[in-house]
Amino acid sequence: MFNISDVVNFHNYKIPNYSKLVEFLVEPLLESPKSLSVDCEKIKSSQKVWVRLAINEVDKGRVYGKGGRNIQAIRTILITAASTVGQSLYLDIYNKLNKNTYS
């Protein structure tokens, strides 16, 4: 489990660790927290950040929440953290394929 101070230093406005922030916010919602995959891509020239989140199909309902409330709250927190340091953030969510799934 992470402390919020490990994720964002609000006093000095350092660049947030988006991967840890996503893990901090999403892991409590997952049946199997170790199944979470997070990829973060930062483009310095345009101050854009893409966060890609992969979750198991069984956890999709809990992560999205009723009417998408959970995922909207997570997205709002990430966008707010990014905007405090002058970045724009995009969050993409994917279904993680199980070993028994063929595509």
| Bridge partners (DSSP) listed for residue 90 | 50
Tokens of 64: 């999205």
The pLDDT tens digits along the chain (103 residues) read 556 556 555 556 688 999 999 999 999 999 989 989 999 999 888 899 999 999 999 999 999 999 999 999 999 999 999 999 999 999 999 998 754 443 3
Q: Which of 40, 33, 54 is nearest to 98 (CA)?
A: 54
Please provide the CATH number assigned to the domain covering 4-96: 3.30.300.20
Ranges of each domain in the chain: 4-96
Query: For the whole model, what pTM was predicted?
Result: 0.78
